[in-house]
Amino acid sequence: MPRSTHLYAWIGCRHYFLLSFVDAFSRYVVHHRLLLELSGRAVATELEAALSSCGSAKPRIVHDHGSEFCNTELRAVIKTHDLLDIRTRARHPESNGIVERFNGTVRQDSDDYYGDNYLSAERSVARLIDEYNNVRLHAALGYFEPREVHFGNIAQRREVRRQKLETARAKRRTQNRSLMAA
């Protein structure tokens, strides 16, 4: 279920908007774009791009009541793809906590500095998103990367982890017994 969000970024004496679509189950950022303006047409265009990367899945779109998410262009895309449009409660950030946490992570990791111009900001944001999706371990996901949860086989990975822990415990037990005997 992609959740849409935007983050204001101050880059080179101008506000830009980081529009992101985050999968609620895996915390994977399905699509993101650094926009010059946050209009209904721009959000609808980026939603189309996000949907094309989702494949055959039929996601629900969860968003706040911002005018960029409540307009005719976006409603047309939602209707065309037969999506479920879910609006969070007004003045209640907890109802869209996944993207609020994502925004906080982006701000924290970047120290709210994205670069001096648009191109350096794009590279900086791409690097942040890549680290968020492919490197960063999430406690909510059982300390897996969002990419692994989104695309991988979690049951197999958990089994491998369990076997490694079991082997390490047995090795430690053997070492401790030999130390106690000596």
CA contacts within 13 A on the Cβ side of 70: 8
The pLDDT of residue 2:
64
What is the C-alpha to C-alpha distance for residues 125 and 127, in angstroms, rounded to an integer? 5
- Alpha-carbon span 147 to 27, nearest angstrom: 8
Amino acid identity, residue 177? R
The alpha helices in the chain, defined as continuous H runs, are 40-54, 72-80, 97-110, 118-134, 146-151, 154-181
Q: Are residues 14 and 96 in the same domain?
A: yes
> What tokens were used for 142?
């059982």
pLDDT digits (tens, 9 = 90+) for 95-106: 888 888 898 999
Tokens encoding 78? 């939602």
161 with 90, same domain: the answer is: no
Residues 104 and 164 in one domain: no
Is residue 138 domain-shared with residue 182, that is, in the same domain? no
Whether residues 128 and 168 share a domain: the answer is: no
Do residues 7 and 92 share a domain?
Answer: yes
Is there a single domain that holds both residue 172 and residue 108? no
139 and 156 fall within a common domain: no
Q: Domain check: are 140 and 156 in the same one?
A: no
For residues 26 and 54, membership in a common domain is answered with yes
CA angle 119, 30, 9 (to 5 degrees): 40
Whole domain around residue 88: which residue ranges?
A: 2-146
Mean pLDDT of 29-48: 92
Q: Does residue 85 sit in the same domain as residue 140?
A: yes
- The residue whose two tokens read 């490694």 is 164
Q: What is the pLDDT, as a whole number, of residue 147?
A: 94
> Are 47 and 34 in contact, with CB atoms under 8 Å apart?
no
> Please, are residues 99 and 113 in contact by the beta-carbon 8 Å criterion?
no
Residues 86 and 173 in one domain: no
Number of domains in the chain: 2
For residue range 93-138, list pLDDT tens digits in order: 778 888 888 989 999 988 888 889 999 999 999 999 999 999 999 9
